[in-house]
Amino acid sequence: MASIGLKMVNSLYEDGGEGSPSNPEKFKGQDFEELRESLLAEKKTFQDETFPPNLDSLGEQDDIPAEELEKVEWLRPLDLNPDASFVVDGTSRFDFKQGDVGNCWFLSAIGALTFRKTLMAQVVPMDQSFRENYAGIFHFRFWRFGKWVDVVIDDLLPTIGKVPLSVSSTSEKEYWAPLLEKAYAKVCGSYGDMIAGNPPEAFKDFSGGVSVSCDLSEPQPDLWDLMNRAVQSRTMMGCGTFAGEKGEEISAEFGLVEGHAYGVTGVLVVESCEEQVKLVRVWNPWGMKEWNGDWSDKSNLWETVSDEVRSLCMKKRDDGEFWMKMDDFCTYFEEMHICCDSPNFVDGDEVCLWNCSLKEGRWEAGKSAGGPDYSTEEFWTNPQYRVTVKAVEGDNEGDKNVLLSLMQKPDEEYRRKITYHSIGFSVFLVPPEAPKGRLPYSLFKDQEPLILSMFHETRELIEFYCLELGEYLIIPCTFEPNKTSSFIITIYSKTEAEME
């Protein structure tokens, strides 16, 4: 799978090597093809010993009573519907709806993924079936910390009274989404480990792409243009409502769910009463409960647009998807997230081929985790990365030409148990007389960092910068010294740049 607008250099895998899109790493050492061939030869159906059909795999379920969990029965799709299919007439956000597991963030990301057909085929191999070569075994692919992995599962799904406990098929016939969810639950440790999160996490695991988050309470001036470019670039887009008291008030008055993740599925300018109105289309992964304000499905404002526009926008109603005015979107939603293969959508430069370079690193308490204070010798025990910007294109001084990503790679297997440190980085200009290799504190003791990022307690920190010709030293660190964690550092550059 080639990424549009992106050139991989110095990545964690060679093109075609293990961990690449065409040759993903086998998660837990399970080889899908070998397992399926063996099962078919023995005329058996697969039961995954590494993710067994029991309460451990279901995990902690905060919103489901214990007595209900005791009723859980693991059934295969063909047990639920003899006419079950993997995919029917392509994949769509309307193929599924959320169940009792609180993973709306993940499902909103699946909805966004369905707009990226090439990427969808990478994550969800389409040559799978409940008829041809069926042995109760399926597989899916995710990008995990620099490498693609192939995740094998059986098709036993948790049900109560033959009703799926988690994601279910809207048609009660199509099962690619419940099986995709199970594969991701296996990666997270259990279904319970998928509870609560933000769409960018799943966006990243579906693509390895670049994410940008926007605070809608103080929207950037070019937000509408950014969203337009994002839609044209086939990005994945999501948003979230307010939690707490403000979220409760909005929910009661306007029908939005508080603290809930939605998908952003389109933007459109319509003419209404001789005025241009900017509209945003939003999708609730519940498959129901919609916005009831201006431009909602039942709004009289749709009578003010042309029959053609009304027909285009109102094909379906009461399906969880709705339109709202851009101003209302920024008022009643707290944040928006966009993810694409390359940063092209950010500035609209569709011609640019970004270079992308990834490296693995690790902070070790007492050895290489010196904290953020660059005036101390301890700081200079942190990992160092030297980046040489060899060329700069464009006539606009100050154009952002480099993106830095710092992503924590936890040692903990279960997602719920992961604690992320507050992370950031400093960028120094390397003087011409600097030797090769690691650079000493003495060389920089009188120098301020050229860039000092904010520190955030997050899985991934992303920052855009303008770097001129020259050599730079990037030092990633934790806000508190002596923290141990692995990380992935990535540099995206508009022009030729090398990282070592």
Residue type, 302: W
Long-range contacts of 181-184 (CB under 8 A, 24+ apart): 181/103, 181/106, 181/107, 181/110, 182/51, 182/153, 182/155, 182/157, 183/138, 183/139, 183/140, 183/142, 183/151, 183/153, 184/106, 184/140, 184/142, 184/151
Q: Which of 104, 313, 352, 477 is catalytic?
A: 104
CB atoms within 10 A of CB 482: 15
CB atoms within 10 A of CB 65: 9
| Contact of 264 with 227, CB cutoff 8 Å | yes
Instruction: Clarify whether 104 is annotated catalytic.
Output: yes
Q: Which residue has the tokens 């006419």?
A: 83
- Which DSSP helix (H) or strand (E) runs through 96? strand 96-97
281 bridge partner residues: 266, 323
Pairing relationship of beta strands 354-363 and 497-499 according to DSSP bridges: unpaired
Q: Return the closest-CA partner of residue 235 out of 183, 278, 200.
A: 200
Instruction: Clarify whether 139 is annotated catalytic.
Output: no
Pairing relationship of beta strands 354-363 and 6-9 according to DSSP bridges: parallel
Q: Return the closest-CA partner of residue 397 out of 497, 496, 467.
A: 467
Token pair in block for residue 251 = 């929910």
Q: Return the closest-CA partner of residue 452 out of 398, 355, 379.
A: 379
Q: Which of 103, 198, 284, 344 is catalytic?
A: 284
Q: Which of 139, 188, 239, 260 is catalytic?
A: 260
Q: How far is CA 19 from the centre of its chain?
A: 18
Q: Which residues are tagged catalytic?
A: 104, 260, 284
